[in-house]
């Protein structure tokens, strides 16, 4: 930008030329600007269709919004070449205590914008929050963040790169939060909505932070899809807490990678069902994945791998049924798998059903199951574990499960003790039924 260019070339709506013409003539990079528009506006244009003026700084934009406090759903468009470090944006705070009307409405922050005169986004060019923290606090409307790269956060709330606290839904898509004390904190647990609000995180990376990658507090459904948390130096990868949601909302994780975190890769504490699909937990200092849920079942499917973690590869404690297909636990410091169904809700107890499980070379037991219900293990193997290959006990019954223990196509060999099965009923051993397996 020409240093002699007056600032009102950016913000004065009374000039005769269009805002885009003015910005171009003033040699301003329109792909580094920010603007607020009502959410229904398809092409963001400064000072038109209810949009704000354009600014180089997010904090300048927020100061302008504070004077008007628009009472409508809105989008903050951030140019793809915006870099907070170049214009000294530090703590970027949207506080519902001062933006009282705006906070009651949906807010979308869209990075990667191709600039004034366009409605398009460059998905390969996230807007950079470099040396800045984005804090959205005391909000009640829905919040969505898209195509942002947060690094070296320095703001309040324990120096988190991104923090959202609202009573509405929270959505993150293509967001990176790294190299801060904490990557991201998402919290809508304060919602008193009759219908639970949700948190959805898609295509995001929370890696290389000093302590935690991602922390979620919610009383509604939580979904993580294509999420990575790796190399968080002194803490965990991802923690999801919705255990106080008595509507039993689910937690769903699809294609999650939790690698080389100091403590647990992925922790879930939930009141509802939990589903894990295509999860990799490797080389974490604690458990690879730890799941505790108070209501609903736990389901693992497709390919879930737990490798070289300092404690158990996978630890599950549930009041529901545990069902898993396609599990591998190799070279974990504790058990490969530690599965427990707690106090049963009926006389027969809950079931543990496992298929295509491999538990090899773990520091303790390959597969440890505590259940008062039926246990089924099909097409599975436990080999070269330092303690037991397979250990089955009752969760509350000292005499073991009251239901049947069924082993079909199961191999346990070269462990210190191959099997230690305590049960009230005879163990059923069957050859594998390939036709039945392939038909599922």
More confident residue, 23 or 280: 280
**Per-residue pLDDT at 2:** 38
* Cβ atoms of 59 and 155 closer than 8 Å: no
Handedness of CA 165, 166, 171, 173 (dihedral sign): negative
Pairing verdict, β 74-79 and 34-38: antiparallel
**Per-residue pLDDT at 169:** 96
What SS3 class is residue 59? helix
Q: What is the mean pLDDT of the chain?
A: 87
Distances (CA, A) of 111 to 74, 83, 134, 178, 328: 14, 11, 13, 17, 38
Task: Give me 417's structure tokens.
Answer: 């003790």
pLDDT tens-digit map of 185-201: 999 998 766 567 999 99
- Between CA 135 and CA 156 the distance in angstroms is 8
- Between CA 228 and CA 202 the distance in angstroms is 10
- Between CA 249 and CA 295 the distance in angstroms is 9
**Per-residue pLDDT at 348:** 55
More confident residue, 66 or 19: 66
Question: What mean pLDDT is predicted for residues 28-43?
Answer: 90
Residue 27 has pLDDT above 80, yes or no: no
pLDDT tens-digit map of 232-279: 999 999 999 998 877 789 999 999 999 999 999 999 999 999 999 999
pLDDT band at 400 (very low <50, low <70, confident <90, very high): low
pLDDT band at 26 (very low <50, low <70, confident <90, very high): very low
pLDDT band at 15 (very low <50, low <70, confident <90, very high): very low
All structural domains of the chain with their residue ranges: 300-440
pLDDT tens-digit map of 218-227: 989 999 999 9
**Per-residue pLDDT at 404:** 78
Other Cβ atoms within 10 Å of 414 Cβ, number: 12
- Between CA 103 and CA 135 the distance in angstroms is 13
Other Cβ atoms within 10 Å of 25 Cβ, number: 12
Q: What is the DSSP string of 145-186?
A: EEEEEEES--SHHHHEEEEEEESS-EEEEEEEEESSSEEEEE
Which residues contact residue 180 at a Cβ distance below 8 angstroms, ignoring those fewer than 6 apart?
Answer: 133, 150, 151, 152, 153, 154, 159, 160, 161, 209, 210
Residue 281 has pLDDT above 70, yes or no: yes
pLDDT band at 430 (very low <50, low <70, confident <90, very high): confident
Residue 436 has pLDDT above 70, yes or no: no
Q: Residue 217: enclosing H or E segment and its boundaries?
A: strand 214-217
* Identity of the highest mean pLDDT range in 329-338, 400-409, 429-438: 329-338
Question: What mean pLDDT is predicted for residues 56-80?
Answer: 95
* Cβ atoms of 271 and 295 closer than 8 Å: yes
pLDDT tens-digit map of 354-396: 999 999 999 999 999 998 888 899 999 999 999 999 999 887 7
Which residues contact residue 415 at a Cβ distance below 8 angstroms, ignoring those fewer than 6 apart?
Answer: 366, 382, 383, 384, 385, 386, 387, 388, 389
pTM for this entry: 0.90
């Amino acid at each position: 930008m020409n240093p002699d260019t007056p600032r009102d070339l950016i913000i004065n709506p009374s000039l005769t030329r269009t805002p885009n013409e003015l910005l171009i003539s003033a040699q301003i990079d329109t792909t580094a600007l920010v603007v607020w528009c009502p959410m229904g506006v398809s092409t963001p244009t400064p000072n038109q269709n209810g949009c704000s003026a354009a600014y180089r700084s997010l904090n300048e934009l927020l100061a302008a919004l504070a004077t008007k406090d628009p009472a409508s759903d809105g989008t903050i468009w951030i140019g793809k070449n915006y870099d907070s470090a170049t214009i000294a944006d530090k703590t970027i705070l949207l506080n519902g205590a001062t933006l009282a009307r705006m906070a009651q409405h949906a807010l979308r922050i869209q990075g990667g914008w191709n600039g004034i005169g366009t409605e398009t986004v460059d998905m390969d060019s996230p807007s950079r929050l470099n040396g800045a923290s984005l804090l959205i606090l005391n909000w009640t409307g829905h919040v969505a963040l898209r195509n942002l790269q947060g690094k070296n956060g320095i703001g309040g709330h324990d120096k988190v790169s991104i923090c959202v606290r609202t009573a509405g839904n929270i959505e993150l898509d293509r967001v990176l939060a790294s190299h801060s004390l904490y990557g991201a904190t998402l919290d809508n647990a304060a919602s008193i909505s009759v219908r639970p609000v949700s948190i959805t995180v898609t295509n995001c990376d929370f890696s290389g932070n000093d302590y935690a990658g991602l922390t979620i507090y919610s009383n509604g459904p939580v979904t993580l899809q294509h999420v990575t948390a790796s190399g968080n130096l002194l803490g965990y990868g991802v923690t999801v807490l919705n255990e106080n949601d008595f509507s039993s909302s689910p937690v769903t994780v699809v294609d999650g990678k939790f690698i080389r975190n100091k403590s647990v890769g992925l922790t879930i504490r939930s009141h509802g069902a939990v589903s894990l699909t295509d999860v990799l937990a490797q080389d974490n200092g604690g458990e690879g994945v730890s799941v505790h849920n108070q209501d609903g079942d736990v389901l693992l499917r497709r390919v879930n791998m737990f490798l070289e973690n300092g404690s158990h590869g996978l630890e599950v404690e549930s009041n529901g049924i545990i069902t898993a297909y396609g599990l591998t636990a190799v070279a974990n410091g504790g058990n490969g798998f530690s599965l427990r169904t707690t106090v049963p809700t009926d006389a027969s107890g809950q079931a543990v059903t496992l298929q295509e499980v491999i538990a090899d070379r773990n520091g303790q037991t390959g597969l440890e199951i505590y259940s008062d219900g039926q246990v089924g293990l099909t097409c599975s193997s436990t080999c070269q574990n330092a303690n037991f290959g397979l250990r089955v006990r009752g969760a509350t019954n000292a005499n073991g499960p009251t239901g049947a223990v069924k082993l079909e196509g199961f191999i346990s060999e070269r462990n210190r003790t191959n099997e230690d099965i305590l049960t009230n009923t005879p163990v059923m051993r069957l050859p594998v039924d390939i036709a039945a397996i392939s038909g599922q």
